[in-house]
């Protein structure tokens, strides 16, 4: 079943439609920006840990209006209610593809996963191969089997405080996000808090637990879709060497390394959006 909190969809390219969709026992808050060209495959965005779909707005705004864009809040984050039972990446993949069906996107879509969402995107690309046309993996890694961040950075990631406290986000932005956040930490605070919605703290921990012990390293060669791996050369959370490993092991992958840090897809969206759309249109 599905329900909606919005009226009929507006004209393509005009505004986002926000609604709730229930697949199985999972209820997700979803946003769809309807594109102006139905022949262009839709783009499904999968967000980083603890972030509501609003955080991705700068990137969505930088994309060509011809392209439909789908975003969602994972259970317990943003506007999605917390899960009745815990989930993990393998069990959440069918929820994502079921959501697409509920929304009427029956053709293959392009998928972009950012950070935690990149792990989910890798799993969906293998688990539901026919539903994914092209894959973009941004500022992400292979899970538990990867070159790790510094322990101090990892410790900062164990709490959702940066999503709830702008002052704290500002104080640690350079250390954990790198790139332009080192010189302008206010940008990180604005990106995370300007319009984001906060779910219960428990949602963050559910999301963290969903990927605990998971790794895509054993199945990277099973990703058959054309893949763009996008990584910053100053990303304290996901050292860039992980992107090089992924691009080498995924059969049809190319690597784009940009000057910047972990959340440049959001803070420098106008620089990265053309790179990603060039790949998708290619």
* 115 among known catalytic residues: yes
Report the distance separating Cα 211 and Cα 215, nearest Å. Answer: 8
Residues 101-124, mean pLDDT to the nearest whole number:
98
- Which of 236, 244, 245, 241 is closest to 264 using CA atoms? 236
Q: Can you give the pLDDT at residue 8?
A: 41
Segment 67-103, tens digit of pLDDT: 999 999 999 999 999 988 899 999 999 999 999 999 9
Report the distance separating Cα 54 and Cα 77, nearest Å. Answer: 11
- Which of 228, 226, 258, 265 is closest to 240 using CA atoms? 258
Segment 142-201, tens digit of pLDDT: 999 999 999 999 999 999 999 889 899 999 999 999 999 999 999 888 888 767 788 778
Residues 224-228, mean pLDDT to the nearest whole number:
98
Report the distance separating Cα 141 and Cα 272, nearest Å. Answer: 18
Catalytic member of 52, 68, 115, 196: 115
pTM (global) more than 0.85: yes
Instruction: Please state, as a whole number, how many other Cβ atoms lie within 10 Å of the Cβ of residue 160.
Output: 22
């Amino acid at each position: 079943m599905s329900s909606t909190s919005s009226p009929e969809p507006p004209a393509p390219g005009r505004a986002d439609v926000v609604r709730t969709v229930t697949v199985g026992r999972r209820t997700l808050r979803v946003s769809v920006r309807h594109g102006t060209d139905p022949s262009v495959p839709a783009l499904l965005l999968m967000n980083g840990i603890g972030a509501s779909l609003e955080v991705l707005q700068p990137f969505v705004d930088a994309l060509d209006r011809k392209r439909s864009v789908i975003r969602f809040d994972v259970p317990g984050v943003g506007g999605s209610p917390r899960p009745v039972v815990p989930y993990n990446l393998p069990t959440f993949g069918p929820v994502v593809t079921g959501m697409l069906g509920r929304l009427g996107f029956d053709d293959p879509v392009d998928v972009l996963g950012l950070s935690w969402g990149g792990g989910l995107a890798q799993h969906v690309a293998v688990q539901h191969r026919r539903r994914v046309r092209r894959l973009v993996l941004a500022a992400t890694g292979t899970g538990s089997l990867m070159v790790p961040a510094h322990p101090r950075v990892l410790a900062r990631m164990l709490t959702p405080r940066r999503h709830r406290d702008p002052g704290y986000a500002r104080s640690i932005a350079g250390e954990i996000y790198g790139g332009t956040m080192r010189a302008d930490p206010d940008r990180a605070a604005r990106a995370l808090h300007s319009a984001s919605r906060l779910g219960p703290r428990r949602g963050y921990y559910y999301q963290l637990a969903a990927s605990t012990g998971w790794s895509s390293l054993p199945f990277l060669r099973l990703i058959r879709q054309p893949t763009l791996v996008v990584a910053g050369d100053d990303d304290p959370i996901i050292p860039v060497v992980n992107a090089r490993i992924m691009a080498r092991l995924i059969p049809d992958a190319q690597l784009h390394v940009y000057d910047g840090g972990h959340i440049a897809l959001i803070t420098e969206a106008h620089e990265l959006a053309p790179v990603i759309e060039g790949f998708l249109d290619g």
